[in-house]
Structure 1
């Protein structure tokens, strides 16, 4: 986790909504002193690194519904309980319980050029499994849903659809590139099933050519559910090259994943009440769950620990915010968004007034940018859109 990012995140949470609290040189002097204190506390006595290390190394991967996810709930609640906040509580939410099962198998078969070769694949989150024996079929390669539909049922029925649209390497914003390729993973299996496909292979959403396939969610629509895997970018390049001159080759994959009944989990919430406008809430947070194949340090353990550190620094420095500062550890972002949806539902039912929400879910590296979305409300004092 980058220390500078942690400091910037804390200051952003602390002062972005307080731009018009003071005026003139007094405001500049007071703010500069407090900001310096925030820097020093975060850099010299910060707790986020140690807490993130425990979350990742002792608890580990935290897919919703798993024992590790439950342990992460208790861990983050314990941390905030020890900080003597005004309120720490759990917000119940039912979450999906998908399990991966035995290690996946992927193979290119019957190739005129290489015969048989194993390739790295992983099941997509929420996918049904093939079961013992797997599936073996001819492959049709497409790069878009338009290409898939153009093939029609006659050319897709009974085959494995290979979605091979890479991330756009010209996009400096990697999340923009990611978004440009992610629809084939999210909706690809359902679109292929409509035309009679028996399975789906999706190019891993990674910008590098490597042999480490990335999992991620698929979302079944009201159609037949077919098994789906991500193939490493190296494997995707090989399969695509072979298909150019050999459309008779076969692909085989075997997965044992399954969706179990929903289980009870929780969003973990801690807050410091505002001194002047406690009914107005500034939320900072991240998602506590992670995929099962890695420890989730940057996705999104870092965001969670940064959010908790915001509250710790407020308490240690005795900063009394005008508005309520709330840290939220959301559960089930990765394969369902249940935690975020439940939080929003209850906030609406309870008529809560959120004036800002700040999330860190792009890793704890050196920051390149901050993105904001807000209504165009102008301050009468400074003519800026600062929500006054």
Structure 2
């Protein structure tokens, strides 16, 4: 293969050298950790529609402006505004006057309880499929307790998460159909601790009057509730929460780009989501992905690389409870007839990078595999065909290659959607290694493209 008149050996050596320069720049001169420090400690949790989310928009746009990119802009998008209200409170009542408080938090999108809370008997299930087996006679007037844990035997913790998250998302909708007065859901967490994990939920087509409050209970609290139920099925559970859904408000995707020198009409996107849940400060989910994506453009400039194609960073708004930002970006791109070649998302935490997943054809994957050896010295060589990311998903019908950074996942769900997702949980070095890996992949895609792209042979 020949690239721009250079034999494959020379081209390979040039790539080795470029990746080394990228990693050196990230580890010695990178800005990702400082950016994350500000997002996390000066702004905090960035729930869609909140003041903090808007502060994050202003801050990241300003920082992209400082990089001297060819263009930086805000893309308007209407987002939902759900507020948590006063702290939630819950307890297990073994008998009148004998109670044990347990940590809970409202699920995102839930309705509030009555002002005085709700107290009812509890029925434990392992998933929504159990409801039909029990029937309305056993569920009506009770609080449904979903207690299916993440499978600890699965090495890929995202698979374990996928195996039980339906009870969080659809649990209230399904339980309400059987007359339940509320639901509590075991937190999506492999650790046994006192930190409840929030997350999005949906009522489907239920009318407002049919909706019931939904809360997550910590894994330790869930174990206590389950054990207590076995000892005394007549116990009561009390829950009080004060959350509200307000009218949609305007927010923004934050976008910046370096225009391609040869093929500016071909766009490579790298991004993460700027919004977060409100319990912690959203450092891993997804402050890390945002600053790593910003760093891609910063590092390319630092090493003096002029992209052939347009490299665009997109900080998406509202991934957590609506995906409005990702959908709006894809909608506008389609309206403008933009040609996207590749999209890379970081939304799996700022942990040690292990590799990438790719949503692509086998032919495209074969091309990608020719780059794998370049990542082996950095231990980022787990290249698999599979998923990519939620925010770039709406771009898929454009026929581009989608990819996701895949860090080590073993600790991710200790922090995901919980008050423990804070800046101190992020390693500076791991964050910077992830940014370097992403920049390296973007560099290779920009330089060579894909076999199935519209590129001419001499551009491969």
TM-score where L is the length of structure 2: 0.77
Of the candidates 10, 21, 25, which is equivalent to residue 26 of structure 1? 10
SS at match of 1:30: helix
1:210 pairs with 2:193: yes
Separation in structure 1 between the aligned mates of residue 233 and residue 366 of structure 2, nearest angstrom? 67
Describe the SS at the equivalent of 2:11.
helix
Q: In structure 1, what is the equivalent of residue 441 of structure 2?
A: none
CA shift digits 1:65-86 (9 cap, x unpaired): 1100000000000011111111
2:208 matches 1:222: no
Equivalence for 1:233: 219
1:179 partnered with 2:151: no
| Deviation larger for 186-195 or 342-351 | 342-351
Secondary structure in 1 aligned to 2:353? coil
Distance in 1, matches of 2:352 and 2:367, equals: 34
Distance in 1 of aligned mates of 2:113 and 2:368: 61
**Structure 1 residue matching 2:355: 3-state secondary structure:** coil
Cα deviation, 1:268-287, whole Å, max 9, x if unaligned, reads 00011111111111111100
Match of 2:249 in 1: 263
TM-superposed CA distance for 1:377, in Å, is: 3.8
Q: Could you tell me which residue of structure 1 aligns to residue 450 of structure 2? A: 387
Q: How far has the Cα of 1:132 moved from its partner?
A: 1.3
Distance in 2 (CA, whole Å) between partners of 1:132 and 1:98 is: 18
In structure 1, the partner of 2:316 is 330
* SS of corresponding position for 1:137: strand
Shift of 1:131: 3.3
- Does the alignment pair 1:148 with 2:211? no
Residue-by-residue CA offset, 1:274-312 (whole Å, 9 max, x unaligned): 111111111111000110010111101111001111101
2:148 aligns with 165
Which position in structure 1 is the counterpart of 2:238?
Answer: 252
Aligned mates of 1:244, 1:382 — CA distance in 2: 53
Cα deviations by residue, 1:227-249 (Å, 9 ceiling, x for unpaired): 00000101100111111132211
Alignment correspondent of 1:136: 119
Of 303, 307, 313, the residue aligned with 2:293 is 307
Q: CA 1:378/1:258 → structure 2, altered by over 3 Å: closer, same or farther? A: closer
Separation of aligned partners in 2, 1:116 and 1:382: 58
Does structure 1 conserve the Cα–Cα contact (< 8 Å) formed by 2:367 and 2:450? Answer: no
Cα distance between partner residues in 1 of 2:101 and 2:257: 51
What residue is the counterpart of 2:77 in the other structure?
93
Are residues 28 and 102 of structure 1, via their aligned partners in 2, closer, same or farther at CA, if it must alter by over 3 Å?
Answer: same
Provide the C-alpha distance between the structure 1 equivalents of 2:279 and 2:9, rounded to a whole number of angstroms. 52
* SS of equivalent residue, structure 1 residue 371: strand
CA RMSD of aligned residues (A): 2.1
Q: Which runs of 4+ in 1 moved over 3 A?
A: 19-23, 376-386
Give the match's secondary structure for 1:269: strand
1:217, 1:324 → 2: CA distance? 34
After superposition, give the CA deviation of every residue in 1:45-97 in whole Å (9 maximum; x if it has no partner): 11111111011000111001110000000000001111111110101000010
Aligned length: 370
Confirm or deny: 8 A CA contact 2:121 2:235 kept in the other structure. Answer: yes
Q: For residue 356 of structure 1, what is the aligned residue in structure 2?
A: 342
Counterpart contact for 2:94–2:232, Cα < 8 Å? no
Structure 1 pair 381–264 and aligned structure 2 pair: CA distance change class (3 A): closer
Q: Is the 8 A contact 1:111 1:242 kept in 2?
A: no
Shift of 1:260: 0.5
Q: Secondary structure at the match of 1:270?
A: strand
Contact 1:20 1:382 in 2 (8 A): no
* Residue ranges of structure 1 left out of the alignment (5+ in a row): 1-18
Query: Which of 365, 368, 371 pairs up with 2:354?
Result: 368
Deviation at 1:383, TM superposition (A): 10
The alignment's TM-score, normalised by the length of structure 1, stands at 0.91
Counterpart-to-counterpart distance in 2, 1:310 and 1:378: 22
Displacement of 1:376: 3.5
**Structure 1 position 135, deviation (Å):** 0.6
Superposed CA offset, 1:99-157 (max 9, x none)? 00001010111349x93111111000110011310111111110022211111111111
Specify every segment of 5 or more residues in structure 2 that has no aligned partner in the other structure, as ranges: 371-400, 402-448, 452-460
Aligned with residue 184 of structure 2, among 201, 209, 218: 201
Aligned twin of 2:108: 125
Is the CA contact (8 Å cut-off) linking 1:167 and 1:207 kept in structure 2? Answer: yes
Question: How far does the alpha carbon of each residue in 1:159-182 deviate from its partner, in whole angstroms, 9 at most, with x for none?
Answer: 100000000000101111011110
Structure 2 residue matching 1:342: 3-state secondary structure: helix
Corresponding position: 1:43 with 2:9: no
* Deviation, structure 1 residue 346: 1.2
